[in-house]
Structure 1
Amino acid sequence: MIPPIERIAQTGSTNADLLARLAAGEHVGEGHWLVADRQTAGRGRLGRAWGDGLGNFMGSTVVQLRAGDPLAATLALVAGVALAKTIRALAPAIDFQLKWPNDILADGAKCSGILLERSGDSVVIGIGVNLVSAPDLPDRATASLAEKGAAIDRDRFADALAVAMADALWTWRQEGVESIVRAWLPLGHPVGTPLHVSEQALDGYFDGLAPDGALRLRGADGEVMLVHAGDVELRRPVEEGK
């Protein structure tokens, strides 16, 4: 069954709308989605603006935290796995990978954004996917799935993502974070990928994920550091002699 999807023509931010409902005491059931045709005040991690585009996917959903759930922060991996599996199902010819914890990259260009915001025992997960057009960002390359050869209807994408998110959430609860980690790894950048973590100014190489979902970053000296949160960028490999 497809979880309930509420579709609206325009709003400032689907995340902000759901957070406001929760703050007002409104019950928003887990799995409920709010999807907008246009979004005028979308935002990403670290307060970055995220432009909209008619035909793109812009939506948010709610997870109601329960006793015994894994750490709420690991929902970032859950969202990434659900999103990647949705794209793989609807656009199998596109070559893409997950960048820790949940960005979708195609040929190194960002195709999506995910923002988690907590309100009490609720987590609002906002997802934006460049289905038909990509915003211009000053600090990174962006691309749309249409540019990569995939024509995906927004409503069909919303239905598939809602189901994939429900499935991944069930796995997270019933089988633990380790199961989500195992699902993430084949979808992510390969071991040895050069990475930079901007907040901590760390450079190193991807060395897989820890059982709790933390990024394993191997330094040039071979020491492995665990990164639990941070803005990660892919670095260009340094060529011999340069």
Structure 2
Amino acid sequence: MIRTVEETGSTNADLMAMLSGGEYLPEGDWLVANRQSAGRGRLGRVWNDGAGNFMGSTVVRPGPGDPPPSTLALMTGLAVHEALAAFVPQARALWLKWPNDLLLDGAKIAGILLEMAAGTVIVGIGVNLAAAPDIPDRAVASLADYGPAPDRDAFAAALAASFDRELHRWRSAGLAPLLRRWQSAAHPVGTPLRVLPPGEDVLEGRFAGLSQDGNLLLELADGTQRTVHAGDVLLASAPH
């Protein structure tokens, strides 16, 4: 079920409040906003989107035997990639970027925010369909930059369906196939990256794939590999 509200601060915050209040939220239900005034991205960034874009949240209830909840960011990225690919011109490059962004021709077109509440993972997704917000330190894009923007409700239905499929694969097939498929949809191995780990200096290197548990592998200039567990990742050649 997809429930739409005209305007809210944040669909993630709304689901968080429902869970905190003891409300049961089933998997497969979505809350989608026409306008969002207090949207949030990773690392505390403001990410407010306007009419015509997709702004929505759903929940996942991890259970025994499921892969680590942190890998839901990768799973969600694949779901968004699948839904977006149907609307992207074939000549354009749609890439996943670790841990939870999608890039169109090197510019951010979608982002994902995971939060935990009462043992439940809230999955928030923002996709620039009709317009891209003005982010001074990031290259951003929307589908409308390349042609007519898709209908938001049609996109929401496509995303809900792809998310359901990827969630089933995540549970039934395990982590290894997910990591292979994620890497095949990401920017190529060898892509120059700048990584800002929390509390550390900037790291520069090249994308070397993913570790067995889904962390970023960065090949440094001296040929050694660094496993990155958290941080802000930028394409080295993109505006930042």
- Range of TM-score over shorter length: over 0.9
Between 1:95-104 and 1:59-68, the stretch displaced more is: 95-104
Query: What RMSD over aligned residues (CA atoms) do the two structures have, in Å?
Result: 1.3
Kept in 1, the 8 Å contact 2:194–2:234? The answer is yes
Kept in 1, the 8 Å contact 2:89–2:146? The answer is no
Equivalent position of 1:129 in the other structure: 127
Equivalent position of 1:14 in the other structure: 11
Equivalent position of 1:46 in the other structure: 43
Query: Aligned partners of 2:21 and 2:142: how far apart in 1?
Result: 36
- TM-score normalised by length of structure 2: 0.94
- Matched pairs, number: 234
Query: Aligned partners of 2:89 and 2:183: how far apart in 1?
Result: 18
| Match for residue 168 of structure 2 among 167, 170, 193 | 170
Query: Which amino acid is the alignment partner of residue 226 of structure 1?
Result: T
| Match for residue 89 of structure 1 among 75, 86, 90 | 86
Query: Which amino acid is the alignment partner of residue 203 of structure 1?
Result: E
Query: Aligned partners of 1:110 and 1:164: how far apart in 2?
Result: 20
Query: Which amino acid is the alignment partner of residue 171 of structure 2?
Result: R
Equivalent position of 1:103 in the other structure: 101
Q: Which residues of 2 match residues 23-62 of structure 1 at below 5 A?
A: 23-62=20-59
Equivalent position of 2:154 in the other structure: 156
Q: Deviations over 1:123-149 (max 9, x none)?
A: 001000000100001211111111022
Query: Aligned partners of 1:190 and 1:150: how far apart in 2?
Result: 28
Equivalent position of 2:141 in the other structure: 143
Between 1:170-179 and 1:122-131, the stretch displaced more is: 170-179
- Deviation beyond 4 Å, 4+ runs, structure 1: none
Kept in 1, the 8 Å contact 2:112–2:125? The answer is yes
Kept in 1, the 8 Å contact 2:74–2:100? The answer is yes
Kept in 1, the 8 Å contact 2:193–2:205? The answer is yes
Residues 175 and 150 of structure 1, relative CA distance in 2, 3 Å threshold: farther
Deviation at 1:183, TM superposition (A): 1.3
- Structure 2 unaligned spans of 5+: none
Percent identity over paired residues: 55
- Structure 1 unaligned spans of 5+: 238-242
